[in-house]
Amino acid sequence: MTSPVEHPLLINRRQFFGRAGMGAAALAALLREESVAATAQIGTAAARGLADLPHFAPKAKRVIYLFQSGAPSQLDLFDPKPGLAPRYGTELPDSIRQGQRLTGMTASQERFPIAPSRFKFAQHGKSGAWLSDLLPHTARVADDLCFIKSMHTEAINHDPAMTFFQTGAQLAGRPSMGSWISYGLGTANRDLPAFVALLSNGSGNPDDQPLYDRLWGSGFLPTKHQGIKFRSGRDPVLFLSNPAGVDASSRRRLLDDLGEMNRMQLEDFGDPEIATRIAQYELAYRMQTSVPELTDISSEPESTFELYGPDARKPGTFAANCLLARRLAERGVRFIELFHRGWDQHTKLPTQLPGQCRDTDQPSAALIQDLKQRGLLEDTLVVWGGEFGRTVYCQGRLTPEDYGRDHHPRCFTIWLAGGGIKPGMTFGETDDHSYNIVRDPVHVHDLHATLLHCLGIDHTRLTYKFQGRHYRLTDVAGEVVKGILA
């Protein structure tokens, strides 16, 4: 799509006609009509999406993405390889590694010793899904989940890999997937943002990779589509509360006056970012009421806190954010993303991974159960996974007590549930070392195409023209993974 008002172009037209000494009055009239029309739509533009969307009947109305920053080890959680036990400490065969590029952390290693998982695996549910004993709560909802064991990506380091998962490009600057969905579909609740980001720190590796605001940014899309970060504490959204001495009626009068000045600027310049500013001021005013109600969990029954676990009452924890995600989903927020740090186990994996799973296992499973019992899972798409996987070989020195794993983009596991995804199944397969994919590969662009498909969007048709090119979340690739669709 092309923005209906392109500010630089309008300025050039004004300069041209002004200097030419002709047509200024006619031009002003045309611009005034266009600006008035744009202003009239400000109140509703934030709520609705594009006129031609959805392209077909959607199975999902919203997405909750549980992004596990740092890259969980598929070998220790989802992809058991019992045949590796007798190969402990032996060299990874060249026929398996196939010259794969290495990170700077292991490129200088003289050996690549195989490190079998220390954790036990078992099959669960009617689907027989394999899960580590670190995930007992996830095991109980295994028949609601679809495990993709054949995910692969192009990036081998955290920042480009996370950026790739969020935006479909390794270089920063593109819109995040939540922004694309906000742009296409809008929100079902005018009093809350279409896209909300929630952050939590894990206990596995508390000093893990940082998270940047651009991961939920809108890139070149209008800024009203960027994700709004909710913080823990008294003010979930910065600068939302009135300053001391300012009451609601005073704020309303201020916004009315400010809105009038902005509308005058919009009429003069036609800059769509001015329209966004007006809409965002109004949304912030409404959020002064909607956000406190949303984040006040005191009305939740005790059974809810028991379901999500002991951390559910602690603001800023993954458990509390999962509960908040359910409340956001109930209120029509279109895209909710939870970023949880701490999965970067280059060393001390046997001691760090259990804590990381304690952070996430029960709340993730509780979210599935909670959505299901409320009738929300059938039209809410839930995704759990990180930016890449982990190597079968040990990074650094392998000992009986300790091992670590380096980054591995060639294959890893994520799971999905609800919203048009077939439950109780495993898709894709890796080799005996969980190093290469041997069946049904799924690329990041394929995942994005599939998420959009569940929302009723043809990923090839959701585009935005920027700097002379039509961009999309899936760039020039991506195929819907039809084998996992319900």
Do 368 and 417 form a contact (C-beta atoms < 8 A)? yes
Strands (E), 21-109: 62-68
Do 194 and 183 form a contact (C-beta atoms < 8 A)? no
Give the integer Cα–Cα distance in Å for 28 and 160.
46
pTM of the model: 0.88
Q: What is the pLDDT along the chain (486 residues), one digit of tens a residue?
A: 455 444 554 555 554 455 455 444 444 444 444 433 443 444 444 467 899 999 999 999 999 999 999 999 999 999 999 999 999 999 999 999 998 889 999 999 999 999 999 999 999 999 999 999 999 999 999 999 999 999 999 999 999 999 999 999 999 999 999 999 999 999 888 899 999 999 999 999 988 889 999 999 999 999 999 999 998 877 787 667 777 777 877 777 777 777 778 888 888 887 877 877 777 766 766 777 778 888 899 999 999 999 999 999 999 999 999 999 999 999 999 999 999 999 999 999 999 999 999 999 999 999 999 999 999 999 999 999 999 999 999 999 999 999 999 999 999 999 999 999 999 999 999 999 999 999 999 999 999 999 999 999 999 999 999 999 999 999 999 999 999 999
The runs of H, that is alpha helices, within 155-308 are 158-167, 177-185, 248-269, 272-295, 302-308
The helix (run of H) or strand (run of E) holding residue 380 is strand 380-385
Do 343 and 70 form a contact (C-beta atoms < 8 A)? yes
Token representation of residue 390:
């982990």
What 3-state class would DSSP assign to 48?
strand
What 3-state class would DSSP assign to 314?
coil
- What does the chain come to in residues? 486
Cross-strand pairs, 381: 63
- Long-range Cβ contact pairs of 237-244 (< 8 A, separation 24 or more): 237/284, 237/287, 237/291, 239/284, 240/284, 240/287, 240/288, 240/291, 241/288, 242/288
Which residues, in sequence order, are CB contacts of 265 under 8 Å at separation 6+? 271, 274
The runs of H, that is alpha helices, within 80-145 are 94-97, 136-140
Do 73 and 349 form a contact (C-beta atoms < 8 A)? yes
Cross-strand pairs, 226: none
Do 184 and 446 form a contact (C-beta atoms < 8 A)? no
Report the first-to-last Cα separation within the chain, whole angstroms.
30
